């Protein structure tokens, strides 16, 4: 499948899946369950609205979602209280799967959600979206319900394909255009067709998500794409245009730290595939500088990009989700 064919066959618009009633019927016909995970850290301003809107339309009116859960990194505001009051299941990541230990980071929440949630399809939606709409869910699960060959679907925004003769920017963001797209162009050219590889909204089948490692920090989105691509190929990936997403923007220095973590994750995969050879381990310290009253101060940030093993390798997970499978008889 070349890039033009992939873009034609695996790029959707959320309006393709406006018929939620049909999605529910098809989901039930296939015997699928779908879980929504909202990873959080101090999101009290937006979490309530997200839960109210998604629950009203996609659980109460149309039972597309079988559960809505918040997996929290240890918020110090009222995120968990608000989420619970509006009907979400709430989990604090550090208190779950304790035998596996605990790390801080969005990727940790996503990884533990695989153990906590029951769905055959898991939808991950960031909790800071100000213009939340049910399309953020049905636009991502629609391709997986419609086509069994699709295992993972990413979101993109701002209508990057021409509409009525107007060509718009992909809106891929600074880290995407300055770091990810050049790296993909060099090492994984097919993945350049993913218009917004760092978008925080995506849906995947449990059957593939349980097989891949999860960086606990900034690199989780990049790692997912590379690892699923390596296991299943481009035909298993898709993307959906969700039109517009409004959220808070990060400062350039914060994006620099993100880029550092993503680059560490990227290099680990190139090493694993024996495409690069490093003479020593990569540093884990990101250095930045600030200026105050004519004086320069160095700031050091420890960014290790710890990776969680594929969760199917965790015994507690296997007991919960695979205990009914027949054991292979010794030859």
**Residue (of 199, 203, 201, 227) closest to 214 by Cα position:** 227
**In the prediction, which pLDDT does 163 show?**
42
Length of the chain: 331
Q: What DSSP element (H or E) covers 311?
A: none
Interatomic CA distance for residues 108 and 71, integer angstroms: 9
Interatomic CA distance for residues 175 and 116, integer angstroms: 31
Give 115-131 pLDDT, tens digit per residue: 999 999 999 999 999 89
Place of tokens 């296939």: 30
**Residue (of 114, 108, 107, 76) closest to 94 by Cα position:** 108
Show the tokens assigned to 183: 């790296």
**In the prediction, which pLDDT does 34 show?**
98
Interatomic CA distance for residues 60 and 134, integer angstroms: 12
Interatomic CA distance for residues 249 and 254, integer angstroms: 10
- 166 touches 47 (CB < 8 A): no
Interatomic CA distance for residues 155 and 195, integer angstroms: 9
- 243 touches 159 (CB < 8 A): yes
CA 43 to chain centre: 17
**Residue (of 94, 152, 95) closest to 123 by Cα position:** 152
Place of tokens 């925080």: 200
Domains for the chain: give ranges and CATH numbers: 7-321 (3.90.550.10)
**In the prediction, which pLDDT does 251 show?**
83
- Ramachandran sector of residue 12 (left: φ over 0; alpha: ψ -120 to 50; beta: rest): beta
**In the prediction, which pLDDT does 65 show?**
98
DSSP string over 23-77: HHHHHHHHT--EEEEEEESS-TTTHHHHHHHHHIIIIIISTT-SEEEEEES--SS
Bridging pattern class, strands 121-124 and 202-205 = antiparallel
pTM, rounded to two decimals: 0.91
Show the tokens assigned to 315: 């015994």
Torsion of CA 283, 287, 213, 234, to 10 degrees: -110
Place of tokens 């995120």: 79
The vertex-231 CA angle with 228 and 234, nearest 5°, equals: 65
Interatomic CA distance for residues 210 and 293, integer angstroms: 51
pLDDT in tens, the chain (331 residues): 788 999 999 999 999 999 999 999 999 999 999 999 999 999 999 999 999 999 999 999 999 999 999 999 999 999 999 999 999 999 999 999 999 999 999 999 999 999 999 999 999 999 999 899 999 999 999 999 999 999 999 999 874 344 445 544 545 578 889 999 999 999 999 999 999 999 999 999 999 999 999 999 999 999 999 999 999 999 999 999 998 777 566 788 888 999 999 999 999 999 999 999 988 899 999 999 988 888 899 999 998 889 999 999 999 999 999 987 554 444 3
**Residue (of 219, 195, 239) closest to 110 by Cα position:** 219
Show the tokens assigned to 193: 């067709």
Interatomic CA distance for residues 76 and 141, integer angstroms: 32
**In the prediction, which pLDDT does 330 show?**
41
The vertex-145 CA angle with 5 and 200, nearest 5°, equals: 75
Give 12-42 pLDDT, tens digit per residue: 999 999 999 999 999 999 999 999 999 999 9
**Residue (of 175, 326, 324) closest to 253 by Cα position:** 175
């Amino acid at each position: 499948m070349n890039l033009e064919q992939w873009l034609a066959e695996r790029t959707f618009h959320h309006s393709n899946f406006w018929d939620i009633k049909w999605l529910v019927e098809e989901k039930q016909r296939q015997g699928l369950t779908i879980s929504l995970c909202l990873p959080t850290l101090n999101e009290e301003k937006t979490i309530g609205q997200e839960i109210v809107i998604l629950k009203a339309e996609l659980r109460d009116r149309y039972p597309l979602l079988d559960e809505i859960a918040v997996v929290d990194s240890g918020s110090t505001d009222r995120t968990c209280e608000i989420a619970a009051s509006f009907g979400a299941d709430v989990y604090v990541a550090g208190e779950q799967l304790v035998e596996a230990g605990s790390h801080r980071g969005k990727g940790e929440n996503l990884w533990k959600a695989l153990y906590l949630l029951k769905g055959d399809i898991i939808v991950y939606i960031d909790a800071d979206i100000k213009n939340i709409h049910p399309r953020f869910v049905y636009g991502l699960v629609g391709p997986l319900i419609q086509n069994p060959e699709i295992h993972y679907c990413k979101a993109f925004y701002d209508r990057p394909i021409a509409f009525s003769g107007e060509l718009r920017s992909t809106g891929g963001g600074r880290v995407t255009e300055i770091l990810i797209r050049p790296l993909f162009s060099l090492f994984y050219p097919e993945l350049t067709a993913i218009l917004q590889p760092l978008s925080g909204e995506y849906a995947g089948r449990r059957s593939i998500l349980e097989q891949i490692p999860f960086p606990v920090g900034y690199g989780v989105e990049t790692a997912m794409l590379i690892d699923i691509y390596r296991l299943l190929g481009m035909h298993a990936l898709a993307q959906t245009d969700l039109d517009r997403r409004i959220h808070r923007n990060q400062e350039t220095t914060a994006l620099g730290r993100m880029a550092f973590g993503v680059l560490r994750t990227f290099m680990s995969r190139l090493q694993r595939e024996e495409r690069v050879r490093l003479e020593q381990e990569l540093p884990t310290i990101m250095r930045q500088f600030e200026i105050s009253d004519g004086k320069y101060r160095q700031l050091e940030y420890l960014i290790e990009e710890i990776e969680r093993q594929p969760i199917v390798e965790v015994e507690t997970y296997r007991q919960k989700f695979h205990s009914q499978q027949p054991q292979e008889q010794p030859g």
